[in-house]
Structure 1
Amino acid sequence: MADLFVSETQLPVEVRTHEALSTEELMVFGQSGVKEFEIARRFEAGRAGFPQSDECALAFFEISGRTRTVIREDRLAGGAGQPITYLGFPPARAAARRLTGQGVVSANSETTCLSRVDRAA
């Protein structure tokens, strides 16, 4: 998956570590903003017990896209491990624009989406 200028390999390390979390770990230990981004990615791909649903993916991309997210990133100008605060996670906003551009309408309720997740998977 790639959105605008952000490819999978360009996602921050903290985002990539959320991929390995089980559903339960993601819900409990996931970082605000990043957790919703990973939930959206799982809905979009239909993996890790999440049903494929572009509507639910869009709902969670939108949440991530407006949630304050702090990530430690290495920046050439800023040095190693600088905390970067996003007022809405940019890759989530880009993914939401992509899905909206494809005509996807956001799900009415995040709770309804999460109730369809198979937590045993």
Structure 2
Amino acid sequence: MAPHRNPPLPNQQQQPKTAGANSKLDKTWGKVSRVTEFLKDRNNRHIVLDILRRAERPTTTAEIAEKFANEADLGSEATRLVSALTSRFSATLSGLVKQGLVRQAGTADGRRHLWEVSR
């Protein structure tokens, strides 16, 4: 007896999402591309580790992003880019945890992770 085969799925053509002027997608993409531009010649691992080493207490990812934005002199864009920077640094922190360089030191508000350098 031959194995059962599902019928092939119909060929569906999906149009790629394009960002219209002032659309949510356009605004998000703008933030991401600006963050990419600011971080282009920088090492995210070094940025995060440097900020954590200088911190006097365990720090949230958002605080790391805010500190970087202030120190990098992003000017009026700093506030607007913090959420995209937070996302970028969150991924960086996950990698640093896997390498044993950073650890979670509890939570703030029972939700946001606090980070510190592994000593």
TM-score by length of 1: 0.28
Larger Rg: 2
- Structure in which a larger fraction of residues adopt strand: 1
